[in-house]
Amino acid sequence: MTWDRRTEDRAAAIVGRYPEKRSAVMPLLYLAMAEDGYLSEDGMRRVAQLTGLSNAQVQGVASFYTMYKRDGVGEYLVSVCTSISCMLLGGDDVLDAVAAETGVADGETGEDGLFSVEHGECIGACGGAPALQVNYELIEGVTPDHGRALCRWLAENRPAVVRGDDLQERFGGRRSFDWGPVEAGGATGAVPAFGPLGTAGEGS
């Protein structure tokens, strides 16, 4: 199996950024996820070919990290932080609200494939707790009501690109610090939006 020309070119560029090609495994796994919407077995096989590893080795790496989703994942992955700082300020209630609104329990994906819901461990937004991420785009200062409204809005508007700045404006509250100017970048799936991976995020 190979990807289309454009993706293969990106893959080759990623491999080229490292002194040893094995180092490209992690970004290539993101690339594979962006291709298929989740990390498929075929995706892992291609990463193995590109890095000279066995499929089992690639699976070993992929399964170590929580962000490589080897089972199908919803269009919107809502990760609600429930680590200590967010817990202290009501993160558990936000998680309950999100689960109730979406009808998707913690750790599950809805049958319609729209939402996946998970409790996250600390996402580095403790000063703006409680916080959550949608496709790893951060929203801080979220109340249970905000969480419900956010999920409703996503379900109704189905944005193709999830922009953290936009969602923060609409549904967020206190921030850990001043974020500075609004960014255009955002995520197109349950993969962190980071330019070199070929996912959205090249915005200003």
Partner 1 sequence: MTQILTTRMEAHPSDSHTLGRYEDTGGYAVLRTALAGMQPDAIVAEVKASNLRGRGGANFPCGVKWGFLAPSRPRYLVINGDESEPGTFKDRQLLERDPHQLIEGIILSAYALGVHHAFIYIRGEYPRPARRVQRAVEEAYGAGYLGRDILGSGFDLEVTVHLGAGAYICGEETALLNSLEGRRGEPRIKPPFPAVEGLYAKPTIVNNVETISNIPWIVGNGGAAYDAIGPEGSRGTRMFSLSGHVNQPGNYEVVMGMTWRDFIYGYGGGIRHGNALKAWIPGGASAPWFVEEHLDTPLTIDDVAKNRSMLGSGAVVVMDETTCMVKAALRVVRFFAHESCGQCTPCREGATWLQQVLTRIEAGAGRDIDLDLLLDISDNISPGLAWPPAMTTICPLGPSAVSPITSIATYFKDEVAAHVHGGGCPLG
Partner 2 sequence: MAEQPTLVTITVDGKPAQVPAGTLLIEAVKAAGVHIPHFCYHPRMKPVGMCRMCLIEVEGPRGMLLTTSCTTPVADGMAVHTESDTVKKAQEGVLEFLLLNHPLDCPVCDRGGECPLQDQTMACGPGESRMVEEKRHYPKPIPISDLVLLDRERCILCARCTRFSDEISGDPLIEFKGRGNAVEVNTFPDEPFASYFSGNTVQICPVGALTATPYRFRARPWDLEAVESTCPHCSVGCRISVQSSRNQVLRFMGVDNGPTNQGWLCDKGRFGFEYLGSPQRLAAPLIRNADGVLQEAAWSDALDLVAERLGALAAGGPDVVAGLGGARGTNEEAFAFGKFLRETLGTNNLDAQLGDGLDARLLAGITARGTIDDLERARTVLVWAPDLKEELPVLYLRVRRAATELGARLIVVHPRETGLDPVAAHTIRYRPGAGTELLRRLADGSGDLAEARRALGEGPVVAIVGRPGAGDDPRLAEAVLAFAAGLPGATLLPVTRRSNVYGAADMGLDPGLLPGRVAAPAGTGGRDAAGIIEGLIAGEVAGLVLLGADPVADYLEPARAAAALEAASFTVAIGLFLDESAAMADVVLPALGFAEVEGTVTNLEGRVQKVNRLLPGPAGARPTHEILEDIARRMGGSIGAASAEALAAEMAATAPAYAGITWEALSWGEGRRGIVAPGPAGSQPLVHAPEDHAPPPVGRNLVLHLARVLYDQGTLTQAGPSLAKLARPAAAHVHPEDATRFGIPAGATVRVTGSGGSVELPTVFDPSLVAGTVYLPLHCGASIGAGLEITMEAVS
Contact set with partner 1 (CB under 8 A):
17-20, 22-27, 29-30, 51, 53, 60-61, 64-68, 79, 82-85, 87-89, 120-129, 133, 136-138, 164, 174, 176-181, 183, 185, 187, 192-197, 201
Binding partner of residue 41 among partner 1, partner 2, none, CB under 5 to 8 Å per kind?
A: partner 2
Are 179 and 168 in contact, with CB atoms under 8 Å apart?
yes
Least distance (Å) from partner 2 to the CB of residue 60? Answer: 4
Instruction: Tell me whether residue 71 or residue 111 sits nearer to partner 1 (CB atom).
Output: 71
Q: Which residues pair with 77 in a beta bridge?
A: 116
Among 23, 49, 57, 176, the residue binding partner 2 under the rule CB under 8 A is 57
Among 54, 106, 121, 152, the residue binding partner 2 under the rule CB under 8 A is 54
Are 44 and 32 in contact, with CB atoms under 8 Å apart?
yes
Binding partner of residue 107 among partner 1, partner 2, none, CB under 5 to 8 Å per kind?
A: none
Instruction: Tell me whether residue 66 or residue 182 sits nearer to partner 2 (CB atom).
Output: 66
Binding partner of residue 122 among partner 2, partner 1, none, CB under 5 to 8 Å per kind?
A: partner 1
Q: Is 64 in the site for partner 2 (CB under 8 A)?
A: yes
User: What span, in angstroms and rounded, lies between the C-alpha atoms of 190 and 127?
Assistant: 24
Interface with partner 2 by CB under 8 A: which residues? 41, 44, 53-60, 63-66
